[in-house]
Structure 1
Protein backbone atom coordinates (compact mmCIF):
# COMPACT_ATOMS: atom_id res chain seq x y z
CA UNK A 1 0.00 0.00 0.00
CA UNK A 2 2.80 2.43 0.90
CA UNK A 3 4.74 1.39 -2.21
CA UNK A 4 1.77 2.23 -4.47
CA UNK A 5 1.36 5.62 -2.77
CA UNK A 6 5.07 6.35 -3.20
CA UNK A 7 4.88 5.47 -6.93
CA UNK A 8 1.82 7.70 -7.29
CA UNK A 9 3.53 10.66 -5.63
CA UNK A 10 6.75 10.21 -7.57
CA UNK A 11 5.05 10.28 -10.97
CA UNK A 12 6.07 13.27 -13.05
CA UNK A 13 2.56 14.46 -13.74
CA UNK A 14 1.70 14.70 -10.02
CA UNK A 15 4.77 16.85 -9.39
CA UNK A 16 3.98 18.98 -12.45
CA UNK A 17 0.41 19.45 -11.24
CA UNK A 18 1.61 20.51 -7.79
CA UNK A 19 4.00 23.04 -9.32
CA UNK A 20 1.20 24.34 -11.57
CA UNK A 21 -1.10 24.87 -8.58
CA UNK A 22 1.57 26.79 -6.66
CA UNK A 23 2.47 28.93 -9.69
CA UNK A 24 -1.24 29.46 -10.37
CA UNK A 25 -1.78 30.76 -6.84
CA UNK A 26 1.14 33.17 -7.17
CA UNK A 27 -0.06 34.19 -10.63
CA UNK A 28 -3.54 34.87 -9.24
CA UNK A 29 -2.15 37.38 -6.76
CA UNK A 30 -0.31 39.22 -9.56
CA UNK A 31 -3.43 39.38 -11.75
CA UNK A 32 -5.62 40.46 -8.82
CA UNK A 33 -3.12 43.21 -7.93
CA UNK A 34 -3.22 44.55 -11.49
CA UNK A 35 -7.03 44.43 -11.57
CA UNK A 36 -7.48 45.98 -8.11
CA UNK A 37 -4.75 48.60 -8.49
CA UNK A 38 -5.27 49.62 -12.11
CA UNK A 39 -8.43 48.36 -13.76
CA UNK A 40 -10.93 48.90 -10.92
CA UNK A 41 -9.91 52.54 -10.36
CA UNK A 42 -10.32 53.17 -14.09
CA UNK A 43 -13.80 51.63 -13.98
CA UNK A 44 -14.64 53.78 -10.95
CA UNK A 45 -13.61 56.88 -12.88
CA UNK A 46 -15.86 55.94 -15.78
CA UNK A 47 -18.94 54.94 -13.78
CA UNK A 48 -18.43 57.19 -10.73
CA UNK A 49 -19.91 54.46 -8.55
CA UNK A 50 -18.67 53.55 -5.11
CA UNK A 51 -20.07 50.06 -5.21
CA UNK A 52 -22.20 48.12 -7.63
CA UNK A 53 -23.49 46.04 -4.71
CA UNK A 54 -25.88 48.88 -3.88
CA UNK A 55 -27.78 48.33 -7.15
CA UNK A 56 -30.82 46.28 -6.17
CA UNK A 57 -34.51 46.01 -6.85
CA UNK A 58 -37.32 44.67 -4.71
CA UNK A 59 -40.03 42.39 -5.86
CA UNK A 60 -42.35 41.75 -2.97
CA UNK A 61 -40.34 40.56 0.02
CA UNK A 62 -37.35 39.52 -2.13
CA UNK A 63 -34.41 41.83 -2.90
CA UNK A 64 -32.40 41.16 -6.04
CA UNK A 65 -28.81 42.43 -6.00
CA UNK A 66 -28.21 42.70 -9.74
CA UNK A 67 -25.32 45.09 -9.12
CA UNK A 68 -23.18 42.34 -7.62
CA UNK A 69 -23.78 40.24 -10.76
CA UNK A 70 -22.73 43.14 -12.97
CA UNK A 71 -19.68 43.67 -10.74
CA UNK A 72 -18.70 39.99 -10.99
CA UNK A 73 -19.02 40.09 -14.79
CA UNK A 74 -16.93 43.27 -15.02
CA UNK A 75 -14.33 41.76 -12.67
CA UNK A 76 -14.18 38.55 -14.74
CA UNK A 77 -13.76 40.51 -17.98
CA UNK A 78 -11.08 42.69 -16.38
CA UNK A 79 -9.14 39.64 -15.16
CA UNK A 80 -9.50 37.95 -18.56
CA UNK A 81 -8.30 41.10 -20.34
CA UNK A 82 -5.28 41.46 -18.04
CA UNK A 83 -4.35 37.80 -18.46
CA UNK A 84 -4.67 38.01 -22.25
CA UNK A 85 -3.05 41.39 -22.94
CA UNK A 86 -0.34 41.30 -20.26
CA UNK A 87 0.63 37.62 -20.37
CA UNK A 88 -0.84 35.55 -23.23
CA UNK A 89 -0.42 37.98 -26.14
CA UNK A 90 3.22 38.89 -25.37
CA UNK A 91 4.09 35.22 -24.79
CA UNK A 92 2.52 34.22 -28.12
CA UNK A 93 4.46 37.02 -29.84
CA UNK A 94 7.67 35.84 -28.16
CA UNK A 95 7.06 32.24 -29.27
CA UNK A 96 6.35 33.33 -32.87
CA UNK A 97 9.58 35.34 -33.00
CA UNK A 98 11.60 32.45 -31.54
CA UNK A 99 10.06 30.05 -34.08
CA UNK A 100 10.81 32.46 -36.94
CA UNK A 101 14.44 32.75 -35.79
CA UNK A 102 14.72 28.98 -35.57
CA UNK A 103 13.32 28.51 -39.06
CA UNK A 104 15.51 31.28 -40.49
CA UNK A 105 18.61 29.50 -39.21
CA UNK A 106 17.93 26.36 -41.22
CA UNK A 107 15.51 26.10 -44.08
CA UNK A 108 13.14 23.16 -43.96
CA UNK A 109 13.29 20.86 -46.99
CA UNK A 110 10.00 20.47 -48.81
CA UNK A 111 9.93 16.71 -48.30
CA UNK A 112 12.70 14.99 -46.41
CA UNK A 113 14.04 11.88 -48.11
CA UNK A 114 13.36 8.70 -46.24
CA UNK A 115 14.60 5.20 -46.88
CA UNK A 116 11.24 4.40 -48.42
CA UNK A 117 11.51 7.32 -50.84
CA UNK A 118 15.04 6.32 -51.91
CA UNK A 119 13.98 2.68 -52.38
CA UNK A 120 11.03 3.79 -54.51
CA UNK A 121 13.39 5.88 -56.68
CA UNK A 122 15.74 2.88 -57.12
CA UNK A 123 12.77 0.66 -58.03
CA UNK A 124 11.57 3.17 -60.63
CA UNK A 125 15.07 3.46 -62.15
CA UNK A 126 15.44 -0.34 -62.33
CA UNK A 127 12.01 -0.69 -63.91
CA UNK A 128 12.90 2.02 -66.42
CA UNK A 129 16.18 0.29 -67.32
CA UNK A 130 14.54 -3.11 -67.74
CA UNK A 131 11.95 -1.55 -70.06
CA UNK A 132 14.72 0.17 -72.04
CA UNK A 133 16.70 -3.11 -72.19
CA UNK A 134 13.66 -4.94 -73.55
CA UNK A 135 13.29 -2.45 -76.43
CA UNK A 136 16.97 -2.28 -77.15
CA UNK A 137 17.21 1.39 -76.32
CA UNK A 138 20.20 2.65 -74.41
CA UNK A 139 20.07 5.68 -72.10
CA UNK A 140 22.98 7.77 -70.97
Structure 2
Protein backbone atom coordinates (compact mmCIF):
# COMPACT_ATOMS: atom_id res chain seq x y z
CA UNK A 1 0.00 0.00 0.00
CA UNK A 2 2.95 2.33 0.65
CA UNK A 3 4.13 1.97 -2.94
CA UNK A 4 0.69 2.96 -4.24
CA UNK A 5 0.66 6.03 -1.97
CA UNK A 6 4.14 6.98 -3.16
CA UNK A 7 2.99 6.56 -6.78
CA UNK A 8 -0.05 8.79 -6.24
CA UNK A 9 1.92 11.52 -4.52
CA UNK A 10 4.73 11.71 -7.07
CA UNK A 11 5.09 15.19 -8.46
CA UNK A 12 4.58 14.37 -12.11
CA UNK A 13 1.33 12.50 -11.43
CA UNK A 14 -0.09 15.46 -9.52
CA UNK A 15 1.06 17.80 -12.30
CA UNK A 16 -0.65 15.56 -14.84
CA UNK A 17 -3.89 15.62 -12.84
CA UNK A 18 -3.79 19.41 -12.60
CA UNK A 19 -3.09 19.68 -16.33
CA UNK A 20 -6.02 17.36 -17.06
CA UNK A 21 -8.43 19.46 -14.96
CA UNK A 22 -7.24 22.71 -16.53
CA UNK A 23 -7.44 21.12 -20.00
CA UNK A 24 -11.01 19.97 -19.37
CA UNK A 25 -11.99 23.45 -18.18
CA UNK A 26 -10.32 24.99 -21.23
CA UNK A 27 -12.10 22.56 -23.55
CA UNK A 28 -15.43 23.50 -21.93
CA UNK A 29 -14.61 27.17 -22.39
CA UNK A 30 -13.75 26.70 -26.06
CA UNK A 31 -16.87 24.57 -26.62
CA UNK A 32 -18.98 27.36 -25.13
CA UNK A 33 -17.20 29.95 -27.27
CA UNK A 34 -17.85 27.96 -30.42
CA UNK A 35 -21.45 27.05 -29.53
CA UNK A 36 -22.51 30.50 -28.31
CA UNK A 37 -20.45 32.90 -30.45
CA UNK A 38 -18.63 31.45 -33.43
CA UNK A 39 -21.21 29.10 -34.94
CA UNK A 40 -24.10 31.57 -34.55
CA UNK A 41 -21.96 34.06 -36.50
CA UNK A 42 -21.30 31.47 -39.20
CA UNK A 43 -24.97 30.47 -39.17
CA UNK A 44 -26.08 34.11 -39.47
CA UNK A 45 -23.83 34.61 -42.48
CA UNK A 46 -25.26 31.45 -44.03
CA UNK A 47 -28.84 32.49 -43.26
CA UNK A 48 -29.42 29.78 -40.67
CA UNK A 49 -30.88 30.81 -37.28
CA UNK A 50 -29.05 28.19 -35.21
CA UNK A 51 -26.09 26.16 -36.40
CA UNK A 52 -26.80 23.34 -33.93
CA UNK A 53 -30.22 22.69 -35.50
CA UNK A 54 -28.77 21.67 -38.88
CA UNK A 55 -29.92 18.18 -39.81
CA UNK A 56 -30.94 15.88 -42.63
CA UNK A 57 -33.31 12.92 -42.76
CA UNK A 58 -32.85 9.49 -44.33
CA UNK A 59 -35.70 6.95 -44.10
CA UNK A 60 -37.34 8.85 -41.23
CA UNK A 61 -34.03 8.94 -39.28
CA UNK A 62 -32.88 12.43 -38.36
CA UNK A 63 -29.14 13.15 -38.43
CA UNK A 64 -28.11 16.24 -36.44
CA UNK A 65 -24.82 17.30 -37.96
CA UNK A 66 -24.86 20.84 -36.54
CA UNK A 67 -23.67 19.67 -33.10
CA UNK A 68 -20.95 17.65 -34.79
CA UNK A 69 -19.80 20.78 -36.63
CA UNK A 70 -19.73 22.65 -33.30
CA UNK A 71 -17.56 19.93 -31.78
CA UNK A 72 -15.32 19.82 -34.85
CA UNK A 73 -14.71 23.56 -34.69
CA UNK A 74 -14.03 23.29 -30.93
CA UNK A 75 -11.54 20.49 -31.57
CA UNK A 76 -9.74 22.52 -34.23
CA UNK A 77 -9.48 25.54 -31.94
CA UNK A 78 -8.18 23.49 -28.98
CA UNK A 79 -5.72 21.69 -31.27
CA UNK A 80 -4.44 24.98 -32.68
CA UNK A 81 -4.02 26.48 -29.21
CA UNK A 82 -2.17 23.42 -27.92
CA UNK A 83 0.05 23.35 -31.01
CA UNK A 84 0.94 27.04 -31.04
CA UNK A 85 1.16 27.58 -27.28
CA UNK A 86 2.70 24.27 -26.17
CA UNK A 87 4.20 22.19 -28.98
CA UNK A 88 5.95 24.96 -30.94
CA UNK A 89 7.54 26.72 -27.91
CA UNK A 90 8.59 23.39 -26.39
CA UNK A 91 10.14 22.29 -29.70
CA UNK A 92 12.09 25.55 -29.89
CA UNK A 93 13.25 25.09 -26.32
CA UNK A 94 14.46 21.57 -27.08
CA UNK A 95 16.25 22.80 -30.21
CA UNK A 96 18.23 25.24 -28.06
CA UNK A 97 19.59 22.46 -25.91
CA UNK A 98 20.27 19.94 -28.67
CA UNK A 99 23.93 19.23 -29.16
CA UNK A 100 25.34 20.51 -32.41
CA UNK A 101 26.20 17.99 -35.08
CA UNK A 102 29.91 18.02 -34.37
CA UNK A 103 32.30 15.12 -34.66
CA UNK A 104 31.80 12.64 -31.80
CA UNK A 105 34.67 12.41 -29.32
CA UNK A 106 36.54 9.12 -29.74
CA UNK A 107 36.23 6.96 -26.64
CA UNK A 108 37.70 3.80 -25.20
CA UNK A 109 36.90 1.70 -22.14
CA UNK A 110 38.59 2.32 -18.81
CA UNK A 111 40.55 -0.87 -17.97
CA UNK A 112 39.53 -0.58 -14.30
CA UNK A 113 35.78 0.13 -14.31
CA UNK A 114 34.98 -0.46 -18.02
CA UNK A 115 33.27 2.96 -18.40
CA UNK A 116 33.54 4.76 -21.73
CA UNK A 117 35.96 7.67 -21.46
CA UNK A 118 37.53 9.98 -24.07
CA UNK A 119 40.67 8.63 -25.71
CA UNK A 120 42.68 11.68 -24.64
CA UNK A 121 41.78 11.25 -20.94
CA UNK A 122 44.59 10.31 -18.57
CA UNK A 123 42.26 9.85 -15.55
CA UNK A 124 38.92 8.05 -15.57
CA UNK A 125 36.04 10.40 -14.66
CA UNK A 126 34.12 7.53 -13.05
CA UNK A 127 36.65 5.63 -10.94
CA UNK A 128 39.30 8.44 -10.86
CA UNK A 129 42.14 6.04 -11.55
CA UNK A 130 45.00 6.81 -13.91
CA UNK A 131 44.50 5.42 -17.39
CA UNK A 132 47.24 4.77 -19.87
CA UNK A 133 46.65 6.25 -23.31
CA UNK A 134 45.59 3.53 -25.75
CA UNK A 135 47.96 2.54 -28.51
CA UNK A 136 46.91 2.54 -32.15
CA UNK A 137 46.69 -0.87 -33.73
CA UNK A 138 48.91 -0.22 -36.73
CA UNK A 139 51.89 1.66 -35.36
CA UNK A 140 51.83 0.88 -31.67
CA UNK A 141 52.19 4.60 -30.93
CA UNK A 142 50.10 6.47 -28.38
CA UNK A 143 47.06 8.26 -29.72
TM-score, structure 2 normalization: 0.57
Query: Where do 5+ consecutive residues of structure 1 fail to align?
Result: 133-140
Which aligned segments of 4 or more residues in structure 1 are displaced greater than 2 angstroms?
Answer: 3-18, 36-39, 50-59, 84-87, 89-103, 106-110, 112-119, 127-130
Summarize deviations over 1:103-135 as a string: whole Å, max 9, x none.
Answer: 5xx74533244344628x934x2x2224x9xxx
Summarize deviations over 1:15-74 as a string: whole Å, max 9, x none.
Answer: 244323321222123322432344213321343222353635374xxx4221x1x11321
Q: 1:122 to 1:5 in 2, by over 3 A?
A: closer
Aligned residue number for residue 64 of structure 1: 61
- Which is helix-richer, 1 or 2? 1
Which structure has more relative contact order (CA 8 Å, sep 6+)? It is 1
TM-score, structure 1 normalization: 0.58
Query: Where do 5+ consecutive residues of structure 2 fail to align?
Result: 110-117, 121-132
1:47 is the counterpart of 2:34: no
Report how many residues are paired: 120
- Which is strand-richer, 1 or 2? 2
Quote the RMSD (CA, aligned, Å).
Answer: 3.5
Say which one has the larger Rg: 1
